[in-house]
Amino acid sequence: MTDCSRRCCRWENRGLVPYLEAWAYQRSLVEARLEAPALEDVLVLVEHPPVYTLGTGASLEFLKFDPAQSDFEVHRIDRGGEVTYHCPGQIVGYPILNLHYYQKDLHWYLRQLEEVILRTLAGYGLRGERVEGLTGVWVEGYKVAAIGIKVKRWITLHGFALNVCPDLSGFSCIVPCGIVDKPVGSLAQFLPNIELKSVRRDLARSFAEVFQIELVLAENG
């Protein structure tokens, strides 16, 4: 259960943000909370210009191009997981949570993030599914949400990416998440008129329900 003194979480909608800028912002939020653990939790929702990211131990064999000889933006970062792709039309969520006030259990945290996606999809009449042994959410065999996290002294960074209505062609240049036999999809495949704004709002609502908190929209959100 969430600590009663930690019921509020700041919710920021920051729009289209370059990847390195968002990564630096996350790190600044984490460092501030390492120095002052009583600071409120934060949920940051963004989109990114096209970019490929690889987790700490991700294999370059899952790139179908040579990063040294291409114009693609590629970054190796400090999350778990393999290579993934971000682009406009995909909602990326960065929860900065102090798990001391929730559960100090990474498997629990990953399952909670999946539950946020599952509840959001259910609100649109879509049946999301987990796949045993893998992390993420699928609809009718298509992976629509990827999750990759890092925890520093039990404060979280990185998070989830939900494909709402992106151009999926960028995924053709990689083996997404290192999974060779499961295609990537988007919500727009099943709901052509789906809107980012409504999904962003519903994701935040589901996040609040799952983590049993109250989200307070930041002034810049």
Q: Which residues are catalytic?
A: 177
Alpha-carbon distance 91 to 191, whole Å? 16
The DSSP output letter for 40 is P
Alpha-carbon distance 31 to 192, whole Å? 41
CB atoms within 10 A of CB 64: 10
